[in-house]
Structure 1
Amino acid sequence: MSTRAVLEVIALGPEDAVAAQAGGADRLELVTDMAADGLTPPVRTFGAIRAAVDIDLRVMLRLADGFAAGDVEGLVRAAAELRGAGADQFVLGFLGTDGAVDLAAVERVVAELDGCRWTFHRAIDRAADRDALRKQLADLPGLDTYLTAGSASGVDDGLPTLLAEARRRGEPGYEQTLLVGGGLRLDHVPALRAAGIDGFHIGGAARPDGWTGPVSATAVTRWRQELDAVRGDRS
Protein backbone atom coordinates (compact mmCIF):
# COMPACT_ATOMS: atom_id res chain seq x y z
CA MET A 1 0.00 0.00 0.00
CA SER A 2 1.43 3.37 -1.01
CA THR A 3 1.59 5.89 1.82
CA ARG A 4 2.08 9.64 1.88
CA ALA A 5 5.02 10.59 4.04
CA VAL A 6 4.63 12.84 7.07
CA LEU A 7 6.98 15.84 7.07
CA GLU A 8 7.66 17.39 10.47
CA VAL A 9 9.61 20.66 10.74
CA ILE A 10 11.15 22.26 13.83
CA ALA A 11 9.64 25.67 14.58
CA LEU A 12 10.94 28.22 17.05
CA GLY A 13 8.20 30.81 16.54
CA PRO A 14 5.22 31.87 14.43
CA GLU A 15 7.33 32.98 11.44
CA ASP A 16 8.87 29.52 11.21
CA ALA A 17 5.47 27.90 11.60
CA VAL A 18 3.82 29.90 8.82
CA ALA A 19 6.70 29.21 6.42
CA ALA A 20 6.74 25.50 7.24
CA GLN A 21 3.00 25.14 6.68
CA ALA A 22 3.23 27.11 3.43
CA GLY A 23 5.97 24.76 2.25
CA GLY A 24 3.90 21.66 2.88
CA ALA A 25 4.81 20.51 6.39
CA ASP A 26 2.27 18.21 8.00
CA ARG A 27 3.37 18.84 11.58
CA LEU A 28 5.66 21.05 13.64
CA GLU A 29 7.91 20.25 16.56
CA LEU A 30 7.95 23.28 18.85
CA VAL A 31 11.14 23.98 20.79
CA THR A 32 13.28 26.80 22.07
CA ASP A 33 17.08 27.06 22.52
CA MET A 34 18.58 24.90 19.79
CA ALA A 35 21.99 25.49 21.35
CA ALA A 36 20.76 22.94 23.92
CA ASP A 37 19.25 20.75 21.16
CA GLY A 38 15.72 22.00 21.84
CA LEU A 39 13.98 22.74 25.11
CA THR A 40 10.37 23.36 26.16
CA PRO A 41 9.09 26.60 24.62
CA PRO A 42 7.21 29.21 26.64
CA VAL A 43 3.43 28.79 26.75
CA ARG A 44 3.06 32.17 25.03
CA THR A 45 5.15 30.89 22.09
CA PHE A 46 2.92 27.84 21.78
CA GLY A 47 -0.14 30.10 21.82
CA ALA A 48 1.26 32.37 19.13
CA ILE A 49 2.14 29.43 16.89
CA ARG A 50 -1.23 27.76 17.48
CA ALA A 51 -2.93 30.99 16.41
CA ALA A 52 -0.77 31.25 13.28
CA VAL A 53 -1.19 27.77 11.75
CA ASP A 54 -3.70 24.94 11.71
CA ILE A 55 -1.42 21.91 11.32
CA ASP A 56 -0.49 19.52 14.15
CA LEU A 57 1.93 20.76 16.80
CA ARG A 58 4.12 18.56 19.00
CA VAL A 59 5.65 20.43 21.92
CA MET A 60 8.99 19.46 23.45
CA LEU A 61 9.06 18.58 27.15
CA ARG A 62 12.73 19.00 28.07
CA LEU A 63 14.07 21.52 30.55
CA ALA A 64 17.85 21.12 30.20
CA ASP A 65 20.46 19.92 27.75
CA GLY A 66 21.19 16.20 27.81
CA PHE A 67 18.89 13.22 28.26
CA ALA A 68 18.41 13.12 32.03
CA ALA A 69 14.91 14.03 33.16
CA GLY A 70 16.16 16.47 35.79
CA ASP A 71 13.26 18.33 37.41
CA VAL A 72 10.44 15.86 36.80
CA GLU A 73 7.85 17.90 38.68
CA GLY A 74 8.91 20.92 36.61
CA LEU A 75 8.25 18.89 33.49
CA VAL A 76 4.84 17.90 34.84
CA ARG A 77 4.00 21.55 35.54
CA ALA A 78 5.13 22.55 32.05
CA ALA A 79 2.99 19.83 30.52
CA ALA A 80 -0.04 20.94 32.54
CA GLU A 81 0.42 24.59 31.53
CA LEU A 82 0.78 23.69 27.87
CA ARG A 83 -2.25 21.42 27.97
CA GLY A 84 -4.18 24.24 29.60
CA ALA A 85 -3.23 26.43 26.62
CA GLY A 86 -4.50 23.81 24.18
CA ALA A 87 -1.46 21.63 23.44
CA ASP A 88 -2.45 18.04 22.78
CA GLN A 89 0.71 16.43 21.30
CA PHE A 90 4.16 16.26 22.87
CA VAL A 91 7.78 15.12 22.51
CA LEU A 92 9.83 13.68 25.37
CA GLY A 93 12.40 11.05 26.32
CA PHE A 94 14.66 10.47 29.32
CA LEU A 95 17.57 8.14 30.06
CA GLY A 96 19.27 7.19 33.29
CA THR A 97 23.02 7.31 33.79
CA ASP A 98 23.23 3.66 32.72
CA GLY A 99 21.77 4.43 29.29
CA ALA A 100 18.48 2.68 30.07
CA VAL A 101 15.17 4.49 29.78
CA ASP A 102 14.23 6.44 32.91
CA LEU A 103 10.90 4.70 33.07
CA ALA A 104 9.76 6.37 36.30
CA ALA A 105 10.26 9.85 34.84
CA VAL A 106 8.63 8.97 31.51
CA GLU A 107 5.63 7.39 33.25
CA ARG A 108 5.21 10.39 35.55
CA VAL A 109 5.12 12.85 32.66
CA VAL A 110 2.95 10.61 30.48
CA ALA A 111 0.43 10.37 33.31
CA GLU A 112 0.06 14.15 33.14
CA LEU A 113 -0.51 13.94 29.37
CA ASP A 114 -3.58 11.76 30.05
CA GLY A 115 -3.67 10.00 26.68
CA CYS A 116 -2.25 12.76 24.49
CA ARG A 117 -0.16 11.47 21.59
CA TRP A 118 3.59 11.80 21.98
CA THR A 119 6.95 11.08 20.39
CA PHE A 120 9.89 9.49 22.19
CA HIS A 121 12.72 11.59 20.79
CA ARG A 122 16.36 10.95 19.93
CA ALA A 123 17.23 9.81 23.44
CA ILE A 124 16.69 6.38 21.86
CA ASP A 125 19.85 6.99 19.82
CA ARG A 126 21.85 7.25 23.07
CA ALA A 127 20.22 4.24 24.71
CA ALA A 128 22.35 1.30 25.80
CA ASP A 129 19.78 -1.11 24.31
CA ARG A 130 17.27 0.23 21.79
CA ASP A 131 15.25 -2.96 21.69
CA ALA A 132 14.91 -3.11 25.48
CA LEU A 133 13.85 0.54 25.57
CA ARG A 134 11.14 -0.04 22.98
CA LYS A 135 9.78 -3.04 24.83
CA GLN A 136 9.73 -1.19 28.16
CA LEU A 137 7.73 1.66 26.61
CA ALA A 138 5.50 -0.49 24.41
CA ASP A 139 2.33 -0.22 26.49
CA LEU A 140 2.51 3.43 27.53
CA PRO A 141 -0.60 5.37 26.48
CA GLY A 142 -0.23 7.85 23.66
CA LEU A 143 3.21 6.77 22.39
CA ASP A 144 2.87 6.63 18.62
CA THR A 145 6.27 7.76 17.26
CA TYR A 146 10.03 7.37 17.69
CA LEU A 147 12.17 10.25 16.44
CA THR A 148 15.48 8.62 15.57
CA ALA A 149 18.51 8.78 13.30
CA GLY A 150 19.35 5.17 14.09
CA SER A 151 22.62 6.37 15.62
CA ALA A 152 23.78 9.14 17.94
CA SER A 153 25.97 10.41 15.11
CA GLY A 154 23.20 10.73 12.54
CA VAL A 155 21.41 9.00 9.68
CA ASP A 156 24.58 8.24 7.69
CA ASP A 157 25.69 5.84 10.43
CA GLY A 158 22.19 4.89 11.54
CA LEU A 159 20.69 3.88 8.20
CA PRO A 160 21.22 0.11 8.68
CA THR A 161 19.52 0.29 12.10
CA LEU A 162 16.59 2.27 10.68
CA LEU A 163 16.08 -0.22 7.86
CA ALA A 164 16.30 -3.14 10.27
CA GLU A 165 13.74 -1.58 12.62
CA ALA A 166 11.42 -0.84 9.72
CA ARG A 167 11.45 -4.54 8.87
CA ARG A 168 10.24 -5.32 12.41
CA ARG A 169 7.12 -3.16 12.11
CA GLY A 170 4.21 -4.77 13.90
CA GLU A 171 6.32 -6.70 16.41
CA PRO A 172 5.87 -5.87 20.11
CA GLY A 173 7.63 -2.55 20.69
CA TYR A 174 7.79 -1.78 16.98
CA GLU A 175 4.23 -0.68 16.25
CA GLN A 176 5.08 3.03 16.45
CA THR A 177 5.90 5.25 13.50
CA LEU A 178 9.58 5.75 12.69
CA LEU A 179 10.16 9.49 12.32
CA VAL A 180 13.65 9.86 10.88
CA GLY A 181 15.65 12.94 11.81
CA GLY A 182 19.21 13.89 12.72
CA GLY A 183 21.59 14.59 9.85
CA LEU A 184 18.82 13.63 7.42
CA ARG A 185 19.45 14.58 3.77
CA LEU A 186 17.37 14.34 0.63
CA ASP A 187 19.64 11.60 -0.72
CA HIS A 188 18.63 9.38 2.20
CA VAL A 189 14.97 9.52 1.20
CA PRO A 190 14.78 6.84 -1.54
CA ALA A 191 16.19 4.04 0.64
CA LEU A 192 14.06 5.05 3.61
CA ARG A 193 10.88 5.26 1.55
CA ALA A 194 11.63 1.95 -0.15
CA ALA A 195 11.75 0.39 3.33
CA GLY A 196 8.28 1.73 4.06
CA ILE A 197 9.43 4.51 6.39
CA ASP A 198 6.96 7.37 6.16
CA GLY A 199 8.00 9.92 8.80
CA PHE A 200 10.65 12.59 8.19
CA HIS A 201 11.84 15.34 10.56
CA ILE A 202 13.95 18.32 9.51
CA GLY A 203 15.44 21.26 11.39
CA GLY A 204 18.55 22.78 9.90
CA ALA A 205 17.61 21.42 6.46
CA ALA A 206 14.67 23.85 6.46
CA ARG A 207 16.94 26.85 7.24
CA PRO A 208 19.33 27.91 4.46
CA ASP A 209 20.84 30.57 6.75
CA GLY A 210 21.31 28.22 9.70
CA TRP A 211 19.65 28.38 13.10
CA THR A 212 20.01 32.16 13.24
CA GLY A 213 17.73 32.43 10.20
CA PRO A 214 14.08 31.48 9.71
CA VAL A 215 12.50 28.42 8.16
CA SER A 216 12.36 28.73 4.38
CA ALA A 217 9.07 27.77 2.74
CA THR A 218 11.06 27.04 -0.42
CA ALA A 219 13.33 24.60 1.40
CA VAL A 220 10.34 22.84 2.97
CA THR A 221 8.63 22.63 -0.42
CA ARG A 222 11.69 20.89 -1.85
CA TRP A 223 11.40 18.22 0.85
CA ARG A 224 7.65 17.92 0.32
CA GLN A 225 8.12 17.41 -3.40
CA GLU A 226 10.86 14.81 -2.93
CA LEU A 227 8.83 12.86 -0.38
CA ASP A 228 5.78 12.91 -2.65
CA ALA A 229 7.84 11.83 -5.66
CA VAL A 230 9.39 8.86 -3.88
CA ARG A 231 6.48 6.77 -2.70
CA GLY A 232 6.92 4.06 -0.11
CA ASP A 233 5.17 0.76 0.37
CA ARG A 234 3.90 -0.49 3.70
CA SER A 235 3.33 -4.21 3.67
Structure 2
Amino acid sequence: MSNRAVLEVIALDERDAVAAQAGGADRLELVTDMAADGLTPSRETFAAIRAAVDIPLRVMLRLADGFAVGDVDALVHVARGMRAEGADEFVLGFLDAHGNPDLVTVERLVAEVEGCRWTFHRAIDRAADRDALRKQLADVPGLDTYLTAGSPAGVDDGLPVLLAEAARRGEPGYEAQLLVGGGLRLDHLPALRSAGIDAFHIGGAARPHGWTAPVDASAVREWRDALDA
Protein backbone atom coordinates (compact mmCIF):
# COMPACT_ATOMS: atom_id res chain seq x y z
CA MET A 1 0.00 0.00 0.00
CA SER A 2 2.94 2.34 0.50
CA ASN A 3 3.15 3.28 -3.19
CA ARG A 4 -0.62 3.85 -3.55
CA ALA A 5 -1.15 7.32 -4.98
CA VAL A 6 -3.21 9.78 -2.95
CA LEU A 7 -6.47 10.88 -4.56
CA GLU A 8 -7.95 14.04 -3.03
CA VAL A 9 -11.42 15.17 -4.09
CA ILE A 10 -13.13 18.53 -3.50
CA ALA A 11 -16.29 18.16 -1.40
CA LEU A 12 -18.87 20.87 -0.81
CA ASP A 13 -21.21 18.88 1.45
CA GLU A 14 -21.77 15.46 3.00
CA ARG A 15 -23.37 14.04 -0.15
CA ASP A 16 -20.18 14.86 -2.08
CA ALA A 17 -18.10 13.40 0.71
CA VAL A 18 -19.95 10.08 0.84
CA ALA A 19 -19.77 9.69 -2.96
CA ALA A 20 -16.08 10.58 -3.05
CA GLN A 21 -15.22 8.07 -0.34
CA ALA A 22 -17.33 5.41 -2.06
CA GLY A 23 -15.40 6.05 -5.28
CA GLY A 24 -12.04 5.54 -3.60
CA ALA A 25 -10.91 9.02 -2.54
CA ASP A 26 -8.20 9.01 0.14
CA ARG A 27 -8.82 12.55 1.35
CA LEU A 28 -11.22 15.43 0.83
CA GLU A 29 -10.62 19.14 0.43
CA LEU A 30 -13.56 20.94 2.04
CA VAL A 31 -14.58 24.27 0.51
CA THR A 32 -17.59 26.36 -0.31
CA ASP A 33 -18.20 28.84 -3.17
CA MET A 34 -16.29 27.42 -6.13
CA ALA A 35 -17.16 30.59 -8.06
CA ALA A 36 -14.47 32.18 -5.85
CA ASP A 37 -12.15 29.15 -6.31
CA GLY A 38 -13.07 27.71 -2.92
CA LEU A 39 -13.58 29.45 0.42
CA THR A 40 -13.86 28.18 4.01
CA PRO A 41 -17.00 26.10 4.61
CA SER A 42 -19.18 26.58 7.66
CA ARG A 43 -18.46 24.76 10.90
CA GLU A 44 -21.81 23.00 10.47
CA THR A 45 -20.80 21.69 7.05
CA PHE A 46 -17.48 20.46 8.43
CA ALA A 47 -19.24 18.69 11.30
CA ALA A 48 -21.76 17.03 8.96
CA ILE A 49 -19.01 15.80 6.63
CA ARG A 50 -16.85 14.62 9.53
CA ALA A 51 -19.83 12.57 10.78
CA ALA A 52 -20.51 11.12 7.31
CA VAL A 53 -17.07 9.81 6.31
CA ASP A 54 -13.93 8.49 7.96
CA ILE A 55 -11.21 9.66 5.56
CA PRO A 56 -8.97 12.70 6.25
CA LEU A 57 -10.47 16.14 5.63
CA ARG A 58 -8.43 19.22 4.70
CA VAL A 59 -10.36 22.41 5.38
CA MET A 60 -9.77 25.51 3.24
CA LEU A 61 -8.80 28.65 5.19
CA ARG A 62 -9.74 31.46 2.79
CA LEU A 63 -12.45 34.11 3.07
CA ALA A 64 -12.13 36.01 -0.22
CA ASP A 65 -11.35 35.34 -3.86
CA GLY A 66 -7.73 35.90 -4.89
CA PHE A 67 -4.49 35.27 -3.02
CA ALA A 68 -4.38 38.29 -0.69
CA VAL A 69 -5.57 37.46 2.81
CA GLY A 70 -8.11 40.27 3.28
CA ASP A 71 -9.26 40.34 6.92
CA VAL A 72 -6.62 38.29 8.70
CA ASP A 73 -8.25 38.64 12.13
CA ALA A 74 -11.48 37.19 10.75
CA LEU A 75 -9.55 34.31 9.20
CA VAL A 76 -7.73 33.59 12.45
CA HIS A 77 -11.13 33.49 14.17
CA VAL A 78 -12.41 31.03 11.56
CA ALA A 79 -9.34 28.82 11.94
CA ARG A 80 -9.82 28.77 15.72
CA GLY A 81 -13.47 27.78 15.27
CA MET A 82 -12.62 24.97 12.85
CA ARG A 83 -9.99 23.67 15.25
CA ALA A 84 -12.57 23.72 18.06
CA GLU A 85 -14.93 21.75 15.80
CA GLY A 86 -12.26 19.06 15.44
CA ALA A 87 -10.63 19.95 12.11
CA ASP A 88 -7.02 18.77 12.12
CA GLU A 89 -5.82 19.29 8.52
CA PHE A 90 -5.97 22.51 6.53
CA VAL A 91 -5.36 24.19 3.15
CA LEU A 92 -4.10 27.77 2.92
CA GLY A 93 -1.79 30.04 0.98
CA PHE A 94 -1.41 33.78 0.62
CA LEU A 95 0.78 36.10 -1.43
CA ASP A 96 1.69 39.74 -0.87
CA ALA A 97 1.30 42.43 -3.53
CA HIS A 98 4.67 41.47 -5.02
CA GLY A 99 3.84 37.78 -5.44
CA ASN A 100 5.93 36.67 -2.48
CA PRO A 101 4.50 34.42 0.25
CA ASP A 102 2.63 36.38 2.93
CA LEU A 103 4.67 34.87 5.74
CA VAL A 104 3.10 36.97 8.49
CA THR A 105 -0.38 35.66 7.67
CA VAL A 106 0.78 32.09 7.09
CA GLU A 107 2.63 32.03 10.40
CA ARG A 108 -0.35 33.49 12.30
CA LEU A 109 -2.64 30.81 10.91
CA VAL A 110 -0.14 28.02 11.48
CA ALA A 111 0.20 29.12 15.11
CA GLU A 112 -3.60 28.87 15.39
CA VAL A 113 -3.62 25.30 14.00
CA GLU A 114 -0.47 24.19 15.80
CA GLY A 115 0.32 20.52 15.36
CA CYS A 116 -1.86 20.18 12.24
CA ARG A 117 -0.70 19.21 8.76
CA TRP A 118 -1.53 21.58 5.94
CA THR A 119 -1.32 22.18 2.21
CA PHE A 120 -0.02 25.38 0.59
CA HIS A 121 -2.49 25.67 -2.27
CA ARG A 122 -2.31 27.01 -5.80
CA ALA A 123 -1.14 30.45 -4.69
CA ILE A 124 2.25 28.92 -5.55
CA ASP A 125 1.20 28.99 -9.21
CA ARG A 126 0.86 32.80 -8.99
CA ALA A 127 4.09 33.36 -7.06
CA ALA A 128 6.76 35.68 -8.44
CA ASP A 129 9.38 32.97 -7.79
CA ARG A 130 8.27 29.41 -6.98
CA ASP A 131 11.70 28.28 -5.84
CA ALA A 132 12.10 31.25 -3.48
CA LEU A 133 8.60 30.67 -2.08
CA ARG A 134 9.40 27.03 -1.32
CA LYS A 135 12.63 27.98 0.44
CA GLN A 136 10.90 30.70 2.48
CA LEU A 137 8.24 28.24 3.64
CA ALA A 138 10.58 25.27 4.15
CA ASP A 139 10.72 25.57 7.94
CA VAL A 140 7.08 26.50 8.61
CA PRO A 141 5.66 23.75 10.85
CA GLY A 142 3.08 21.35 9.47
CA LEU A 143 3.50 22.13 5.75
CA ASP A 144 3.53 18.73 4.05
CA THR A 145 1.92 19.37 0.65
CA TYR A 146 1.90 21.81 -2.27
CA LEU A 147 -1.26 21.81 -4.40
CA THR A 148 -0.10 22.97 -7.81
CA ALA A 149 -0.76 22.77 -11.53
CA GLY A 150 2.72 24.10 -12.29
CA SER A 151 1.12 27.13 -13.95
CA PRO A 152 -1.82 29.50 -13.35
CA ALA A 153 -3.26 28.16 -16.62
CA GLY A 154 -3.39 24.55 -15.48
CA VAL A 155 -1.54 21.26 -15.81
CA ASP A 156 -1.32 21.34 -19.64
CA ASP A 157 0.83 24.46 -19.33
CA GLY A 158 2.54 23.49 -16.08
CA LEU A 159 3.65 19.95 -16.88
CA PRO A 160 7.35 20.81 -17.45
CA VAL A 161 7.46 22.69 -14.11
CA LEU A 162 5.81 19.79 -12.28
CA LEU A 163 8.24 17.27 -13.73
CA ALA A 164 11.22 19.48 -12.88
CA GLU A 165 10.00 19.96 -9.29
CA ALA A 166 9.33 16.24 -8.88
CA ALA A 167 12.96 15.60 -9.82
CA ARG A 168 14.07 17.82 -6.91
CA ARG A 169 12.06 15.98 -4.23
CA GLY A 170 14.01 15.88 -1.01
CA GLU A 171 16.07 19.03 -1.68
CA PRO A 172 15.61 21.95 0.78
CA GLY A 173 12.18 23.44 0.02
CA TYR A 174 11.17 20.34 -1.96
CA GLU A 175 10.46 17.89 0.85
CA ALA A 176 6.69 18.45 0.79
CA GLN A 177 4.50 16.21 -1.35
CA LEU A 178 3.46 17.50 -4.77
CA LEU A 179 -0.33 17.31 -5.05
CA VAL A 180 -1.17 17.95 -8.69
CA GLY A 181 -4.48 19.62 -9.48
CA GLY A 182 -5.95 22.32 -11.70
CA GLY A 183 -7.13 21.21 -15.14
CA LEU A 184 -5.79 17.71 -14.42
CA ARG A 185 -6.92 15.02 -16.88
CA LEU A 186 -6.54 11.26 -16.91
CA ASP A 187 -4.18 11.50 -19.89
CA HIS A 188 -1.72 13.52 -17.77
CA LEU A 189 -1.29 10.67 -15.29
CA PRO A 190 1.28 8.48 -17.10
CA ALA A 191 3.88 11.27 -17.37
CA LEU A 192 3.25 12.45 -13.81
CA ARG A 193 3.34 8.95 -12.32
CA SER A 194 6.53 8.05 -14.18
CA ALA A 195 8.13 11.17 -12.66
CA GLY A 196 7.33 9.79 -9.22
CA ILE A 197 4.42 12.13 -8.46
CA ASP A 198 2.08 10.31 -6.11
CA ALA A 199 -0.77 12.69 -5.16
CA PHE A 200 -3.60 14.03 -7.31
CA HIS A 201 -6.45 16.48 -6.70
CA ILE A 202 -9.71 16.62 -8.66
CA GLY A 203 -12.73 18.89 -8.51
CA GLY A 204 -14.63 19.24 -11.77
CA ALA A 205 -13.36 15.85 -12.95
CA ALA A 206 -15.38 14.22 -10.15
CA ARG A 207 -18.52 16.03 -11.38
CA PRO A 208 -19.30 15.07 -14.98
CA HIS A 209 -22.56 17.08 -14.75
CA GLY A 210 -20.86 20.27 -13.53
CA TRP A 211 -20.50 22.07 -10.21
CA THR A 212 -24.24 22.33 -9.65
CA ALA A 213 -24.39 18.50 -9.48
CA PRO A 214 -22.85 16.38 -6.72
CA VAL A 215 -19.69 14.32 -6.86
CA ASP A 216 -20.21 11.17 -8.93
CA ALA A 217 -18.78 8.07 -7.23
CA SER A 218 -18.21 6.34 -10.58
CA ALA A 219 -16.18 9.30 -11.88
CA VAL A 220 -14.01 9.13 -8.75
CA ARG A 221 -13.68 5.35 -9.21
CA GLU A 222 -12.36 5.89 -12.76
CA TRP A 223 -9.54 8.01 -11.30
CA ARG A 224 -8.88 5.54 -8.51
CA ASP A 225 -8.62 2.69 -11.01
CA ALA A 226 -6.34 4.70 -13.30
CA LEU A 227 -4.02 5.52 -10.37
CA ASP A 228 -3.99 1.92 -9.14
CA ALA A 229 -3.37 0.42 -12.59
**Counterpart for residue 62 of structure 1:** 62
Where in structure 1 are there 5+ consecutive unaligned residues?
230-235
Q: Distance in 2 between matches of 1:159 and 1:180?
A: 10
Whole-Å separation in 2 of the counterparts to 1:108 and 1:139: 14
Counterpart position of 2:136: 136
1:59 aligned counterpart, secondary structure = strand
What is aligned with 1:178? 178
TM-score by length of 2: 0.99
Counterpart residue identity of residue 151, structure 1: S
SS where residue 141 of structure 2 aligns? coil
Q: In the TM superposition, what is the alpha-carbon distance from 1:56 to its structure 2 partner?
A: 0.3
**1:33 aligned to 2:33?**
yes
What is the rounded CA distance, in whole Å, between the counterparts of 2:219 and 2:108 in structure 1?
A: 38
The 3-state SS of whatever aligns with 1:3 is coil
Give SS of 1:158's match: helix
How many Å separate the matches in 2 of 1:46 and 1:158? 32
Alpha-carbon distance in structure 1 between the residues aligned to 2:47 and 2:130 = 35
Structure 2 counterpart of 1:80: 80
In the alignment, residue 128 of structure 1 is paired with which amino acid?
A
Partner AA of 2:67 in structure 1: F
Mapping for residues 1-235 of structure 1, pairs under 5 Å: 3-229=3-229
Report percent identity of matched pairs.
79
SS in 1 for 2:76: helix
- Partners of 2:209 and 2:124 lie apart in 1 by 29
Could you tell me how far apart the structure 1 residues matched to 2:109 and 2:85 are? 17
For 1:123, what is the secondary structure of its paired residue? Answer: helix
> What's the CA shift for 1:3?
1.3
Q: Which amino acid is the alignment partner of residue 109 of structure 2? A: V
Q: Residue 16 of structure 2: SS of its match in structure 1?
A: helix
Q: Which runs of 5+ in 2 are unaligned?
A: none
Which ranges of 4 or more aligned residues in structure 1 deviate by more than 3 Å? none
CA distance in structure 1 between the aligned counterparts of 2:36 and 2:5, rounded to whole angstroms: 28
- The answer for the alignment partner of 1:233 in structure 2 is none
C-alpha separation in 2, matches of 1:197 and 1:190: 10
1:75 shift after superposition: 1.0
Amino acid in the other structure paired with 2:118: W
- How far does residue 110 in structure 1 lie from its aligned partner after superposition? 0.6
Letter in 2 for 1:69: V
In the TM superposition, what is the alpha-carbon distance from 1:2 to its structure 2 partner?
A: 7.2
Q: Give the Å deviation of 1:23.
A: 0.1
Residue identity matched to 1:172: P
Q: Secondary structure at the match of 1:159?
A: helix
Deviation at 1:200, TM superposition (A): 0.1
Deviations 1:101-143 (A, max 9, x none): 1111111111101120000000000000000000000001100
Distance of 1:204 and 1:157 partners within structure 2 = 18
How far apart are the structure 2 equivalents of 1:39 and 1:112? 18
